[in-house]
């Protein structure tokens, strides 16, 4: 199955065909992979805003990681990232989406977000997400129809409405 790729006008880049990735349920043995990718993604963002605290990050990660909500993103049998989606209070929450560096900017994140939105649309639920200030994914979220609903010292909170 080929996933929709980026159009030629986006960011002045040529069209990209999204790789044929799959999702699989996470297992306990994925904890280390998921943790390493999370820390590699989060540390530079939090350092940039003066909010990095390794002990706090480790504790937060252990609290956030819920096996039943995590899917491992694979490509040709290799683990390349992970996504975590939860539901609460009538909302779908895109809690985490992390890709290994070589697999960014290929349309995988866009495809996963669009799938999450489609599932939420079927249930007539909004999708909420939060990200650390300075995360370049902010432009992607805006392009995909998310709007800012709140901010705090370190994060921006966005929502996409299904209706």
pLDDT at position 1 is 38
Does residue 58 fall inside a structural domain?
Answer: yes
Does residue 153 fall inside a structural domain?
Answer: no
pLDDT at position 150 is 97
Domain span at 58: 20-124
CA dihedral 85, 86, 89, 90 (to 10 degrees): 60
CA–CA gap between residue 11 and residue 150 (Å, rounded):
27
Does residue 87 fall inside a structural domain?
Answer: yes
Q: How far apart are the first and last CA of the chain?
A: 28
Does residue 102 fall inside a structural domain?
Answer: yes
CB-CB contact of 46 with 135 (8 Å): no
Count the domains in the chain: 1
CB-CB contact of 96 with 85 (8 Å): no
pLDDT at position 111 is 97
In terms of residues, how long is the chain?
A: 163
pLDDT at position 16 is 67
Question: What values do phi and psi take at 104, rounded to 5?
Answer: -85, 155
pLDDT of the chain along its 163 residues, tens only? Answer: 333 343 333 444 446 688 999 999 999 999 999 999 999 999 999 999 999 999 999 998 989 899 999 999 999 999 999 999 999 999 999 999 999 999 999 999 999 999 999 999 999 999 999 999 999 999 999 999 999 999 999 999 999 998 7
CATH of the domain at 29: 3.40.630.30
The residue with tokens 């790729």 is: 5
Does residue 145 fall inside a structural domain?
Answer: no
Does residue 61 fall inside a structural domain?
Answer: yes
HSE at residue 73, side-chain half, CA atoms within 13 A, is: 23
pLDDT at position 17 is 85
The residue with tokens 């939105």 is: 117
Does residue 152 fall inside a structural domain?
Answer: no
Does residue 7 fall inside a structural domain?
Answer: no
CB-CB contact of 100 with 75 (8 Å): no
Q: Hey, what are 37's tokens? A: 């990718």
């Amino acid at each position: 199955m080929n996933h929709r790729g980026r159009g030629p006008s986006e960011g002045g880049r040529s069209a990209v065909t999204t790789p044929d990735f799959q999702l699989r349920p996470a297992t306990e043995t994925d904890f280390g992979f998921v943790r390493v990718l999370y820390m590699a993604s989060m540390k530079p963002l939090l350092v940039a805003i003066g909010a990095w605290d390794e002990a706090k990050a480790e504790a937060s990660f252990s609290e956030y990681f819920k096996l039943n909500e995590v899917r491992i993103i694979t490509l040709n049998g290799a683990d390349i990232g992970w996504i975590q989606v939860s539901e609460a209070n009538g909302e779908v929450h895109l809690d985490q989406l992390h890709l290994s560096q070589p697999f960014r900017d290929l349309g995988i994140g866009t495809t996963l977000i669009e799938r999450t939105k489609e599932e939420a649309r079927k249930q007539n639920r909004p999708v909420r997400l939060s990200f650390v200030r300075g995360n370049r994914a902010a432009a992607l979220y805006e392009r995909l129809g998310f709007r800012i609903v709140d901010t705090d010292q370190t994060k921006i909170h966005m929502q996409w409405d299904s209706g």
